[in-house]
Amino acid sequence: MKVLLIIIDGASYKIIEKIKDKLPTINKLINSGFYGKLESVFPSLTPIALASLITGNLPEHNGITAPKIFIKGRSLSSPLSAFSSEGLKSDPIWAYLGKHGYKVTVTSNPQALPDKWKIKDVILFDPYKSKIKKCSDAKVLSEGENKILSNIWIVEKRNSKYLIVYTSPYGEKEIELEEGEWSEPIEILGKCGKDELKGTVFLHARHENVYVSPISFFNYKWGNNTELQEKIWNFIVSKHGMILDGDYHSLYKGIITLDEYLKTIELTYSFFLNYTLFMLENTSWDFAITYLPIVDNLQHLLYGINEEKAFEHIVKGYEMADEFIRAQLNYADVFFVCSDHGIAEVEKKIFINKFLEKINVLKLNDNEEIDWSKTKAYYGGGGQIRINLKNREKNGIVSHREFPKLVRYIVRNLENLVDEEKNERIFTSIVARESPANDREGDIYITGLKEKYGISSLVKKDMNIIEKIEYYKMTSGEHGYFRKDDLYGIIIFYDKKSNTRRKFISNAKIIDVAPTILKLFNVTNVKMDGKPIITLVEKYGDLNNY
């Protein structure tokens, strides 16, 4: 009996209910299986929610409490990342199954790597580890000489054609593109820091320049099986490329157009579809996890735009997700389709670190980087503001005596932050600690804000604290803090051999998925915050005896 957990990042229960007739595979699974809302955790952000899904535990127990996790003895500038197994305090589902002799394949999960479990027949991958900060950003090539990863690329335009000479792992190569043409994926070579690595990109020839898509690297860090990683690179990445999300950062910076962004979404889908099928076909497994990000990508950009064409693009993303699920139906007997959260509309963005700078508790240097030696408080996401406290944070500057006064000062200013255009206060709930927080906690929590406001940790000198969303450029859909539509994803349970007609799953929580799956594999000696979903356990009990 093979069980497959398919995660569609951001698939919203509200939207699925609205468009499911356009999604033949999802509709089939709903009508022939069990279906319902899946309540996420707070804050319902992807790495936090997925950690709860794979561990069956709430954030305060599994350790993934925010995108940046603050630990005593570490500086505010160097927290643990939620996108790493290092932050997990409780074991994930693959560890329990592996220890009981089951074979597991994980194609993508934020906490899969580095592999600290090292269990035989448990294959862990996370393609996002192929991205390297400051080296993976998209580029723009102009005519003449250009430097990419310390190597010189030469661009020559001849009428409507570009000739691009670039550095590959196999020496200098050239490619010719017509204006408007996208290349096939190409392999490049260059230095990121001291390391010389090969990577993969797409090129798009434009009227005045050439766009180079974000770079994914072959760095042996995105899998625990080097032989398999080499096969993926040779048979999948070389043919389909390796774009891992729509290139929102380039869109926001004005480097690419909306049409180019949508093309990067298609290329992302192509990679994940082909990579997923390759993994399912070329590994031995009893349980597998697969993942697709594009629904969340599109919703972030477009959900708050009240235009038909914007919603049509979102629907297209769901249709691709529907095909992604359909393509996997031949690989397993039993399926869970889940999402980590939903989505909510955003009209304005609040930049919390810009607010902290405005009230003189965060400082920027001339390079628009945070000056940690002069910064007293920092917002790292997940609603958490952390004080740069002496003897807790490495290089902390705030004394324990100053701590309560500083917290009150920040909270008072947060409570008084007003959107002058609407003449309303923004935050509906702020929780402050009277004494310094422990590990993995904030000293101040933003736990509620009014509808159609989003919050961000981004900070620059030339930005405002409150900015109106610029549609088709800034994110108009968010999740994490609203506890309404953004809190509810979906859960579908489908057994190919069952004659079940549609049954509703009520009151399911994301922490219930892992214990349900373990129960079906007859792994029951595990204590988790979640509980097996009773409607499934009553019918199926133990898959080994089914």
pLDDT at 540: 59
pLDDT band (50, 70, 90) for residue 541:
low
Of the candidates 272, 275, 269, 285, the one whose C-alpha atom is nearest the C-alpha of residue 331 is 285
Q: How far is CA 86 from CA 42, 89, 115, 372, 454, in A?
A: 21, 8, 9, 24, 29
pLDDT at 546: 40
Q: What's the pLDDT tens digit per position in 206-253? A: 999 999 999 999 999 999 999 999 999 999 999 999 999 999 999 999
Beta strands in 352-439 (DSSP E): 377-379, 384-387, 418-419, 424-425, 427-432
Q: Does residue 36 surpass a pLDDT of 60? A: yes
Beta strands in 257-333 (DSSP E): 287-292
User: In the predicted model, what is the mean pLDDT of the chain?
Assistant: 96
The DSSP code sequence of 45-83 is -HHHHHHHHHHSS-HHHHS--SSEE--TTS-TTSPEESS
Separation between Cα atoms, residue 100 and residue 37, nearest integer Å: 30
CB 275 within 8 A of CB 269: no
Q: What's the pLDDT tens digit per position in 85-131? A: 999 999 999 999 999 999 999 999 999 999 999 999 999 999 999 99
Sign, CA torsion 519/521/522/525:
negative
pLDDT at 318: 98
Using only the alpha carbons of the chain, give its radius of gyration: 24
φ/ψ (deg, to 5) at 182 = -95, 140
User: Residues of the chain with pLDDT > 90: what percent?
Assistant: 95
CB burial of 456-480 (b: ≥16 within 10 Å; e: otherwise) equals: bbebeeeeebbeebebbebbbbbbb
Separation between Cα atoms, residue 337 and residue 326, nearest integer Å: 11
Separation between Cα atoms, residue 520 and residue 98, nearest integer Å: 15
Which residues are within 8 A (CB) of 272 and not within 5 positions of it... i.e. 6 or more apart? 108, 291, 292, 293, 294, 324
pLDDT at 538: 65
CB 368 within 8 A of CB 471: no
Q: Is 329 exposed, middle or buried (0-12, 13-18, 19+ CB in 10 A)?
A: middle
CB 395 within 8 A of CB 373: yes
Separation between Cα atoms, residue 357 and residue 3, nearest integer Å: 50
Report the SS3 class of residue 545: helix
pLDDT band (50, 70, 90) for residue 498:
confident
pLDDT at 500: 72
pLDDT at 277: 98
Separation between Cα atoms, residue 483 and residue 342, nearest integer Å: 10
User: Look-up: residue for tokens 């993303």?
Assistant: 317
Instruction: Catalogue all structural domains in the chain, each as residue range(s) with its CATH number.
Output: 3-121+284-343+485-510 (3.40.720.10), 139-212 (no CATH), 347-478 (no CATH)
Q: Does residue 461 surpass a pLDDT of 50? A: yes
- For 478, the token pair is 């968010």
Separation between Cα atoms, residue 30 and residue 403, nearest integer Å: 53
Q: Which amino acid is present at 481?
A: Y
Q: Does residue 447 surpass a pLDDT of 60? A: yes
pLDDT at 83: 98
Is the pLDDT higher at 465 or at 500?
465
pLDDT band (50, 70, 90) for residue 475:
very high
Q: Does residue 157 surpass a pLDDT of 70? A: yes
Q: Does residue 385 surpass a pLDDT of 50? A: yes
User: Mean pLDDT throughout 322-348?
Assistant: 97
Which residues are within 8 A (CB) of 65 and not within 5 positions of it... i.e. 6 or more apart? 48, 59, 382, 384, 440, 441
